[in-house]
Chain A
Amino acid sequence: MKNIKVLGTGCANCQNTLKLIEEVARTKGAAIQLEKIEDLQQIIGYGVMSTPGVIIDGKLVHAGGVPARAKVEGWL
């Protein structure tokens, strides 16, 4: 099971990213544990400067905008 964290302070793009990952996981039937990190100090701890950022199993894979659907499908 993959642990996925979406980093963002709650802007529209962060919500969209969260929804997109949920949706792709559901259609592919992939088991994931999805978390939303809104705490600034934690976000910055991951070295992310432009939100939303995506962390998979502790590794930063994306930052600065809603990821493309194909990219999300590649992760899962």
Chain B
Amino acid sequence: MRRTPWGWLALGLAAWIVAYASLVPFADAVIAALGLTRLTALGEALHFFFYDTPKVLLLLTGIVFVMGVIHTFVVPERTRALLSGKRLGIGNVMAASLGIVTPFCSCSAVPLFIGFLSAGVPLGVTFSFLISAPMVNEVALALLFALFGWKVAALYLGLGLTVAIVAGLVIGKLGMERYLEDWVRAMQATQSATFDAEKPGWAERIGAGVVHVKDIVGKVWPYILAGIAVGAGIHGYVPQDFLASIMGRDAPWWSLPAAVLLGVPMYTNAAGIIPVVEALIGKGAALGTVLAFMMSVIALSLPEMIILRKVLKLPLIIAFAGIVALGILVVGYVFNAVL
């Protein structure tokens, strides 16, 4: 077994804290070095960029590392064993919660879906997992927290879980098993869900966290940089209430459904969409409308539905999309009403 790199971990943590504490002085210093002040539009825009970029990247790195370590505890096989044979209700709550911490990639949505069903996880519970896993993920939460604060991140977490739980419950209650493709139905509850894998040591777990950071942060940083650059540009120049009349709180009732519909054909991950979200909100769009748009882009995607068509018949896909869309709409209206 490899030695556990506790020393490196402590060093990394210390460096992270020091860097996070010096965000504002850093941005101030950069602006000063460029001979600008925050009183000009250019200075303000650049200050925003040099403050936000390191902040977002630091928070993302921290959260993604922790999630990488957590992933070594909750592999899909263990989640499946936990959910096997659970009743609707408690099963949905567990499935949606486990969806946050179980490693998930949309390209393995279908094998995972069948893997769950074949081990006796009920259809409605499986759907709760399938909705929660991509929508309520660590990248989305980290970015929301970095850009809008913990309240918005917590609301997104709570409402995302609620949509996943309720949508799964409804699909389960509707008894839609007959709309599974026949070969999938034949596989339901045919395998045992026992789980015994070798236990990784702490050295492996920390290693997995580092790999996860390289994987995720390495992939998304250009999008984040571009998004913040656009946001910074808008920050200094475009008028504050530019979007208020079409996406703001006083916009007509149909602006929310329109935002959700607009999100369906768009497909990107959380990292790609959140900087856009920030730009929209900065220009007067209402938070509920924007979050509904974001949930729709991530959770309802045309490519994923086409993959799911291999295992689900059309009525079940329509029910799935319809119920999730409805849930997102309710979330959007609630957000707009409360805030």
- A contact set with B: CB distance below 8 Å: 8-14, 40-41, 43-44, 47-51, 64-65, 68
Known contacts A40-B310, A44-B114: A49-B107 contact under CB 8 Å: no
Whether the Cβ atoms of B75 and A64 lie closer than 8 Å is yes
Complexed CA–CA distance, A8 and B310 (Å) = 15
Chain B contributes a number of interface residues (CB within 8 A of A) equal to 23
Q: B103 to A50, Cβ gap below 8 A?
A: yes
Which residues on the B side are within 8 Å of A49 (C-beta)?
A: 76-77, 80, 108, 111-112, 115-116
Kindly identify which residue among B103, B110, B183 contacts A9, using a CB–CB cutoff of 8 Å: B110
B211 contacts which chain A residues (CB < 8 A)? Answer: 68
In the complex the two chains form, is A48's CB within 8 Å of B111's CB?
yes
Of A8, A41, A50, the residue contacting B76 (CB under 8 A) is: A50
B111 with A64: CB separation less than 8 A: no
Q: Chain B residues near A13: list those with CB within 8 A.
A: 105, 107
Is there contact, CB below 8 Å, between A64 and B187?
no
Q: For A43, what are the chain B residues with a Cβ–Cβ distance below 8 Å?
A: 111
B99-132: contact bitstring with A at CB < 8 Å (1 yes, 0 no)?
Answer: 0000111011011101110100000000000000
Alpha-carbon separation in the docked complex, A51 to B107 (Å):
8
Residues of B within 8 A of A68 (CB): 211
Contacts A44-B115, A64-B103: A51 and B108 contacting too (C-beta < 8 A)?
Answer: yes
Q: Which residues of A contact B112 (CB under 8 A)?
A: 49-50
A9 CA to B111 CA, complexed, in Å:
9
Contact indicator A11/B115 (Cβ below 8 Å): no
CB distance from B133 to the nearest CB of A (A): 11
B191 at the A/B interface (Cβ < 8 Å)?
Answer: yes
Residues B186-202 near A (CB distance < 8 A): 187, 191
Given A9-B110, A50-B76, A64-B75, also A44-B118 (CB < 8 A): yes
Contacts A9-B110, A40-B111, A47-B191; is A64 near B76 (CB within 8 Å)? Answer: yes
CB contacts (< 8 Å) of A8 on chain B: these are 107
CA distance A43 to B103 in the complex (A): 19
Given contacts A13-B105, A40-B110, A49-B77, 19 further A-B contacts (CB under 8 A): A9-B107, A9-B108, A11-B107, A12-B107, A14-B107, A40-B111, A40-B310, A40-B311, A44-B187, A49-B76, A49-B80, A49-B108, A49-B112, A50-B103, A50-B104, A50-B105, A51-B105, A64-B75, A65-B103
